Amino acid sequence: MAVAVETLRPHHTIWGDALIRLRRNRLAVVGVTFILLLALGAMLVPYVSPYPWDRQNYNIILQNPSWAHPFGTDNLGRDVITRLLYGARTSLQVGIFTQIIVVLVGIPIGAIAAAAGGRMDNIIMRFVDVMYAFPDLLLIILVRAILGPSIYMLFLAIGLVAWVNVARLVRGQILSLKQRDFITAARAMGASGPYITLRHLLPNSIGPVIVVLTFNVPRAIFAEAALSYIGIGANTPSWGTMIRDGYEVIFAAPHLVAFPALAVGILMLSFTFLGDGLRDALDPRLRR
């Protein structure tokens, strides 16, 4: 019976199937939509907004939302929605660039640990354990202090602290895939170790890695916002900095702190929805 149904269904690749399932997940669609709209707004804001992000106007400080300023103005008379969209640039960049670093560091280290095995594996994994024991925000702050105040160094600092879960995942994936038949088959055909790793093992563990990266993004966004809130984060417009500034006038104009805080929360939520959706969509156990 099951066999008969299978033959009637159109054939899809693993990714095509995943995309179909992702589109059926309402929360994931909501998340992606918000992320895309925010990205669009962040890209277009210099051309669309009548206000530069840093123009101060002391005649209109701490205004409540109005037609001219839909999200109000801050204590220097700057337009809040314009600043929010510029801040979105920082948050989205943090999300993307940190994960590039995570991929560049975490995948090779995990793959090396799994492929080398033995002592090498042991050393790497103990190091990963130590990294887990570190309170990560504090470590980011330290690394940031070393690397300097540039925003790119902030990406690097967050990325250099966040790679451990990907390394652990890749190692685990490769070790479990190593046991499977098709790898044994490849080995029997005379394929070499590194060749097998590159040709068979990595492509097969790519799905779970993507899921973990998606869940990493909101953590990185949070780290940047928290650091900027404390005053050691981004020197570009940032939601964290806006929260810090708004916090000073929370009684006079609570919307100044509420909007960036909500923005951080909603963007993180969107990536989590996307991550949940991707995980369900890529889970081979749910594939039929």
Q: Name the residue among 99, 20, 92, 86 with its Cα closest to residue 49.
A: 86
CB of 76 to other proteins, least distance (A): 20
Q: How many CB atoms neighbour CB 94 within 10 A? A: 27
Tell me which of 108, 194, 254, 284 binds other proteins, using CB under 8 A: 254
- The length of the chain in residues reads 288
129 touching other proteins, by CB under 8 A: yes
Residues 111/284, Cβ–Cβ less than 8 Å: no
Q: What b/e string do you get for 216-240 counting C-beta neighbours within 10 Å, with b at 16 or more?
A: bbbbbbbbbbbbbbeeebbebbbbb
280 touching other proteins, by CB under 8 A: no
Q: Name the residue among 65, 187, 172 with its Cα closest to residue 121.
A: 172
286 touching other proteins, by CB under 8 A: no
262 touching other proteins, by CB under 8 A: yes
Tell me which of 19, 20, 104, 230 binds other proteins, using CB under 8 A: 230
Q: Which of residues 200 and 244 has its CB atom nearest to other proteins in the complex? A: 244
269 touching other proteins, by CB under 8 A: yes
CB of 201 to other proteins, least distance (A): 26
188 touching other proteins, by CB under 8 A: no
* 73 beta partners: 79
CA dihedral 117→119→121→125, nearest 10 degrees, is 150
148 touching other proteins, by CB under 8 A: yes
157 touching other proteins, by CB under 8 A: no
Judged by the rule CB under 8 A, the positions of this chain that interact with other proteins are: 1, 27, 126-127, 129-130, 132-139, 141-143, 145-146, 148, 218, 222, 225-226, 229-232, 243, 247, 250-251, 254, 257-258, 261-262, 264-265, 268-269, 271-273, 276
